[in-house]
Structure 1
Amino acid sequence: MIKGIFETHLNVTDLERSQHFYEQIMGLEHAYGQPERGNSFYWVGGRGNAMLGIWQKEPDKVQRQHFAFHVSLEDMKQAVPYLEAKGIAARNFLDDDIGELYVFGWMPAVSVYFTDPDGHSLEFISMLPDEAKSELGMVPWSTWERMHGRM
C-alpha cells in the first residue's frame, strides 16, 4: 500500500523568514498558504510529488527535526558549492570538518547536511548505483568511488 512519504510538516518561529528560506534559497515551489493561520505549503520534487508544510509557532513549540531531500547523483556532486553559494554551511554526517561527504554503506547513499533558519537538520541525499556494503559502515565518498573504479 505505502508508496512513499507525501507530506511532512515543520514548526517554525518566523513564517516570513522560513518562507524566504524554502522559496528563495531552497527553490521550492509555493503551493498554498494561509497567513492568517500561520502556514505555508511547498511542492517538493514538482507539483503533486510531495509536500512540505511550515507552521509558525511560539519558540517553545519548535523542536529540532530532521528530513532529507532526494537529489540526483549529478546534483550531489555540486551540493556543497550550491549550498555555500547561498550562504548555507554544509557538513557531513560526522560533522568532522574534513570537507568530504560520506557514504552510508548499508544503503548505499551519499549525503550532505545543513540547517534551516530554525535549526532543523536538513539533508540532500542521493542513492548510489552500487551494491550495499553495510560492513563498511560509513566511508568518505572518494573512498567509495575508488573502490568502485570511478576515480
Structure 2
Amino acid sequence: MIKGLFEAHLPVSNLLNSIKFYESLGLTLENHIPNKVAFMWIEKDVSWLGLWECESVRLDYHPSIRHIAFNVDLEDLKTAKQWLNKKGIETRGAFGFSGEEPFVLPHVNNASSKIHFYDLDGNSLELISQISNPEQCLDAMYLSEWEERFY
C-alpha cells in the first residue's frame, strides 16, 4: 500500500528567503502563493516540501515536528559539511556527535550515516544515506571510523 513519502511541511517566517535557501540546497520551486505557501520539489514528481509562511514559526523543537531528512548518496554525504559551509550553512551536533563530519547510527541489518543543520527558521534538517552494516555492529561512530573499520 504505502510506498514512500510524497510531502512534508515546515513553518517559515519569510517565504521568499526560505525559497532561496531551499533552492540553494537543490530543491526546485513548483508553485507558490505569495505570503502563504510554496511547494518545492525534492525529487520531481516524487516528493516535495511545503513551506508555510506564518507568524508562529518559533515552536519549541521536538524531532516529531519541524524536522526533515533528505536522502543523499554516500559520496555526497562525505563532502556535505564543506558543501553546506560554502553556502554559509553551519552543520550542528546531534546524538552526541559534534557536526564536524557525518556520523553513523547503526541498526541490526543496516545503518544510516547523517549530518544535521538548521534552515533559516531553526527547522531541523538532515542529510542521510543508508549504508550497509556487514557485521551487524551496533556502535555509533563517525563515518570516517566506520569506513576504517568496515571498508
Q: TM-score, normalised by structure 2?
A: 0.86
> Partner of 2:27 in structure 1?
28
CA drift at 1:128 = 0.8
Aligned twin of 1:43:
41
Cα distance, 1:18 vs structure 2: 0.8
Q: Specify the alignment match of 1:12 in structure 2.
A: 12
Q: What residue is the counterpart of 1:145 in the other structure?
A: 147
Tell me the distance in 2 between the aligned counterparts of 1:74 and 1:109: 13
Contact 2:11/2:57, CA 8 A, preserved across alignment = no
CA contact (8 A) 1:41 1:52 kept: yes
- Structure 2 CA distance for aligned equivalents of residues 32 and 60 of structure 1: 21
Unmatched segments (≥5 aa) in structure 1: none
Q: Does the aligned pair in 1 maintain the 2:30–2:40 contact within 8 Å?
A: yes
Between the aligned partners of 1:17 and 1:98, the Cα distance in structure 2 is 25
Query: 1:83 and 1:127 mapped to 2: Cα distance?
Result: 20
Deviation at 1:71, TM superposition (A): 0.3
- How far 1:59 sits from its partner (Å)? 2.6
User: 2:118: which partner in 1?
Assistant: 115
Query: CA deviation digits over 1:25-54, x for unaligned, max 9?
Result: 212111111116x11001112x10101000
Unmatched segments (≥5 aa) in structure 2: none
Aligned length in residues: 145
Change (3 A) 1:75 1:98: closer
1:92, 1:132 → 2: CA distance?
Answer: 26
Residues 88-107 of structure 1 mapped to structure 2, 5 A cutoff: 88-94=89-95, 96-97=97-98, 99-106=100-107, 107=110
Is 2:53 the counterpart of 1:52? no
* Alpha-carbon spacing, 1:132–1:14, altered in 2? closer, same or farther (3 Å): farther
1:115, 1:121 within 8 Å by CA — same for their partners in 2?
A: yes
Partner of 1:128: 131
For the residue of structure 2 that corresponds to 1:128, the secondary structure is strand
RMSD, matched Cα: 2.0
